[in-house]
Amino acid sequence: MNYPHPLLAREGWPFIALAVTVAATVHFYWGWSAALFFWVVVAFMIQFFRDPPRHIAMDEGLVLSPADGRVISIERTQDPYLDRPALKISVFMNVFNAHSNRSPVDGQVKQTWYFPGRFFNASLPKASLQNERAVLWIQKKDGTDVTCVQVAGLVARRILCYAKTGDDLTRGQRFGFIRFGSRVDIYLPLTAVVCAVVGDKVYATESILARFA
């Protein structure tokens, strides 16, 4: 298990603290009924920024889900970042999913990119190339390339990616966070064997999206 993080993501601490402060202030001066809505906001913030520990599959040939959510697309397409034919798997995160992002494979970050963009609903196909996004090119020891893309959504306004060129990532290692609804796209070699199907509910590091032949 790879989990050097608090149960509530640090990215959410300011939001949770602000929500608690407002709710407590309203509760103190105007009572429970007036503060009920604000306590609901506190509960939402806590569930959104939860960052639970996860068990990590040990097989090096697996491609693990980089995020909690639902598989919304599996298709053969062109990887626009490495300019190669690829299998693309997309995982959509709604506001009720944990939003911590984790590496799907072991490997070295060969390059990163950031693209400012629009904020269409992340479940739409055009979001992959038109929304704000951060990209990791991860290369496994055997030379296999995996492209992992954080894509902002309709409500999301902040992509946080901590991995940098030259970093070594292990499966399940936390590399980023996206606030308030988004998606993650993974581009794999055509030789990869897909294990998920569209509609699957998946969990970061615990769900297997594909395996290398």
CA 147 to chain centre: 13
CA distances from 77 to 82, 168, 206, 208 (A): 12, 27, 26, 20
Catalytic-labelled residue, pool 65, 123, 128, 182 = 182
Q: Is 182 a catalytic residue?
A: yes
Total residues belonging to the chain: 213
Q: Give CA–CA dist 159/165, Å, rounded.
A: 17
Beta strand extents in the chain (DSSP E only): 62-64, 69-79, 84-93, 100-102, 107-115, 133-139, 145-152, 159-161, 168-169, 174-178, 182-188, 192-194, 201-202, 208-212
> Known catalytic residues?
182
